[in-house]
Amino acid sequence: MAVVEVKMPQMGESIVEGKIIRWTKKPGDAIARDEILLEIATDKVDSEIPSPVAGVLKEIVVAQDETVDIGTVIALIESEGSASADASGIGVSPMKHGQDARATIGSADVSSAQKTAAAAHFGGDDFKSTAPKKSAVATLEPPVAAKSGGNGEVVRHDGKRFYSPLVRRIAKDEGIGGETLSRIPGSGANGRVTKHDLLAYLEGRAALAPAAKAAGAPASTRTGGMVLPSEIDPLPAAAKGSYNPERVDVLPMDNIRRRTAEHMVLSNIVSPRAASFSECDMENVVQLRGRKRGEFQQREGFKLTLNPFFLFATVKAIRDYPGVNVIVDGANVIRKKDINLGIAVALGADGTDGLIVPVIKNADSLSMTGLARAANELAQKARTKTLKPDDISGGTFTVTNPGVFGNDFGLAIVTQPQVAILGIGAVKQRVVAYQGMIAIRHTVMLSATYDHRVVDGALGGQFLSRVCHYLENPPEDF
């Protein structure tokens, strides 16, 4: 009998650890090759991990709800026959001192079916969704608090994530303990708290003090009695007795839903929002799509939707107004030279399972057909559960589409650490004034929400008007 070591897999270049959400098998259970063995969560996606071999689960080394580094042995499987035969392509290495040969799994090449089957807003026919809904909701535990050393300093690693020397020094200087620091959602790699995240909290805590007092938050022990955003629970429990447990269903948030909730609270605290709205004439786009859709599908193998026109217009407008393609780092504005276009996607058939944002990297280097291909590929990955963490990281600007649900427009929340987001409403035939006459034309309502610290109404409004300009004058050849 060969003993196979199952290791925490590498789910992306920026991922250094993962949390075990659920084991689907218990010790002693038989398992087939490629049968789902466990579910893991990173800071970006939840994934199902298949067994590398057929055999019997001998031991679970890492328990449910624990977080460990990539490459850590998490389980042992007894496999019949030789390890090399049952785990071909996994990598077999004999153990010393007469131990059984053991195969290891832990590379990104291993297929991982993600739980996030998405109702893809982009890539489907006219924004329609075909994704299935998840059948179960994972139970989550409260976040583990970061530990503090004997001298009051936050330790480098608290069992869930690392803290840089700079972050630890700022935390010490400001009197921020490990428990508070562990509750701050991070925008860095693997959800790490960056200098930007910490300074944003420090800037916002004075303004939050009155709100916290009104909400009954406990008085802070920080200098000046100011309250940190992390001291206000982003997910407060309902008042005891406010609902009858026999008349409601209690659905614990899964990992993605909870992280989204924390991220949205952070964004509302960090970014003072302003918004602009424009109604754009889409008649030329609709007519052009009608003429090109047959030829396009024959050439590319998938349907031509309105999505590529929106993405293309957005990228061209960002080129003209790069001030919306920045992040804020303390008192500095960091202008991104690459345009990595995030596409907001609702999870589940009814949109109740959270939100995920796949990213088209270097979108400014692509033609409209190239953007269509990239969006279609991300949609296919979502439907086949093959999105990887790298597919949803590194975005510099986001586009979201409330119009997929028939809404005329929506006011979106900026995705941190970005400073602007474009909302696309439903494309409808409307009665409008056109060339001095009353006409019925296809139009769309667009919204731009932006961080007013660095994007003023002039920039935000001009950017949105430029998006409309490119939509009203689409390219004939693409």
Give the active site residues.
452, 456
Structure-token pair, residue 6: 């199952």
SS3 208: helix
80 Ramachandran zone, left/alpha/beta (phi>0; psi -120 to 50): beta
Closest CA to 423 of 404, 442, 441: 404
Amino acid at 246: E
Q: How far apart are CA 271 and CA 416, in angstroms?
A: 9
Q: How many CB atoms lie within 10 A of CB 175?
A: 13
Tell whether omega for the bond before 272 is within 30 degrees of 0, i.e. cis.
Answer: no
Beta bridge partners of 35: none
Q: How far apart are CA 422 and CA 344, in angstroms?
A: 10
Q: How many CB atoms lie within 10 A of CB 85?
A: 13
Q: What is the 3-state secondary structure (H, E, C) of 247-282?
A: CCCCCCCCHHHHHHHHHHHHHHHHCCEEEEEEEEEC
Where b means 16+ CB within 10 Å and e means fewer, 276-304 reads bebebbbbbbbebbeeeeeebeeeeebbb
- Give the phi and the psi of residue 77 in degrees, each rounded to 5: -125, 130
Task: Give residues with Cβ within 8 angstroms of 216, minimum separation 6.
Answer: none
Q: How far apart are CA 89 and CA 104, in angstroms?
A: 10
Structure-token pair, residue 370: 């190239």
C-beta separation of 442 from 283 below 8 A? yes
Q: How far apart are CA 156 and CA 179, in angstroms?
A: 13
